[in-house]
Amino acid sequence: MPEHPSAPHHLVEEGARLERVATGATWAEGPVWLPRRRAVRFSDIHTNRILEYSEETGELTVVSDDAEYTNGRTLDLDGHVVECSHGRRAVQRDTAVGPGDAHRPITLVERFGRARLNSPNDVVVASDGAIWFTDPAYGIKRPVEGHAGDEEYGDRYVFRYDEKADALTPVVIDVEAPNGLAFSPDESLLYVADSSLSPADPDTTDTARPRGHSIHVYDVVEGRHAKNGRPLVEVSPGLPDGIRVDVEGRIWSSSLSGVQVFTPDGERLLDLAVPEKTANLCFGGDDGRTLYIAASSSLYRIRTTTTDASTAARGRASR
């Protein structure tokens, strides 16, 4: 596969080059590293497929070709995949993530009161096991990303789902198109990407709704409330979609140019060029230092000097 030189930087392993490891998608999204399979699972949303790249064999396989337009995904505290489904308008869990297991998701949450969710987009699991997810309208407004539908609760929120109590609570209501999200290493901060620069309905004539492309940050209070929201940084060119936070608290964001990395104060540290429009990213590999990047038709990777903050959070939860 082609390799692309990158400028030296302390966040990138010395001598590392961006490598395209798989291609053939139409809109690659939602990558997650599966340690038990030593593979990256990701979505090709427009063709309604889930794909998996094996780090061991270098092969790309189809996990599901009737995936109901899955998007973002993460691992829960037991190592199972929690993923967003545009088609089912739900957040679901796939417990079959061992070698050779088939994709068999079960729905966790699909309604807010009597209203169906819009189209859950991205998800994180906190160290207490609570599931936080974004719910913009892309899957019900864009035919290639789901099924046509209405915004039944009338807006687009970030939710927290307490699975033990079966309780769904809005935690962020002031971001126009909440997309990627991530916690700081100590989970005292929640970062939320606003992708409303690209509205869910591209033909809309409603000029009253915001058109933003910033990452917002919130204080997390008592592990369950998001307070004091404020814009942290405007991502340009393009907009922030998927985001991750590393163990030092730096924010890694997708953008039109590739992957941009920011300090917790919003200073840009790195702009890692990717030859295709970037949607999402995740850390993986046996040591957690390989950055996998889902970008339009392809999956790329590059070696870094850091790891994902969620690894530390899960470590705290298991003690």
Residue 218, pLDDT above cutoff 50: yes
> Which CATH class for the 3-318 domain?
mainly beta
User: How would you class 284 by CB atoms within 10 Å of its CB: exposed for 0-12, middle for 13-18, buried for 19 or more?
Assistant: buried
Task: Tell me the HSE value of 41 on the side-chain side, using a 13 A CA sphere.
Answer: 28
Q: How sure is the predictor about 315, in pLDDT bands with cuts at 50, 70 and 90?
A: very low
User: What's the pLDDT score for residue 9?
Assistant: 81
Q: Is the pTM of this model over 0.85?
A: yes
Residue 249, pLDDT above cutoff 90: yes
Q: How sure is the predictor about 3, in pLDDT bands with cuts at 50, 70 and 90?
A: very low
Average pLDDT, the chain: 93
Q: How sure is the predictor about 317, in pLDDT bands with cuts at 50, 70 and 90?
A: very low
Per-residue pLDDT, averaged over 59-81, amounts to 96
User: What's the pLDDT score for residue 155?
Assistant: 97
Whether 71 has a binding-site annotation, put simply, is no
Whether 179 has a binding-site annotation, put simply, is yes
Lowest mean pLDDT among 25-29, 66-70, 313-317: 313-317
Q: What is the rounded (10 degree) CA torsion for 219, 185, 180, 16? A: 150
Q: How sure is the predictor about 311, in pLDDT bands with cuts at 50, 70 and 90?
A: low
* Residue % of the chain over a pLDDT of 70: 95
Whether 122 has a binding-site annotation, put simply, is no
CA of 31: how far to CAs of 10, 23, 44, 200, in Å?
24, 14, 10, 21
User: What's the pLDDT score for residue 153?
Assistant: 98
250-298 tens-digit pLDDT: 999 999 999 999 999 999 999 999 999 999 999 999 999 999 999 999 9
User: What's the pLDDT score for residue 92?
Assistant: 98
Whether 201 has a binding-site annotation, put simply, is no
Per-residue pLDDT, averaged over 113-136, amounts to 98
Residue 5, pLDDT above cutoff 50: no
Q: Which of 241, 271, 286, 287 is catalytic?
A: 241
Closest among 38, 34, 30, 14 to 302, alpha carbons compared: 14
E strands within 222-285? Answer: 225-234, 243-245, 251-254, 258-262, 268-273, 278-284
Q: List CB contacts of 246: < 8 A, sequence separation 6 or more.
A: 252, 283, 306, 307, 308, 309
19-61 tens-digit pLDDT: 999 999 999 999 999 999 999 999 999 999 999 999 999 999 9
81-98 tens-digit pLDDT: 999 999 999 999 998 877
Query: 101 catalytic, yes or no?
Result: no
Integer Cα distance of 223 and 184 in angstroms: 12
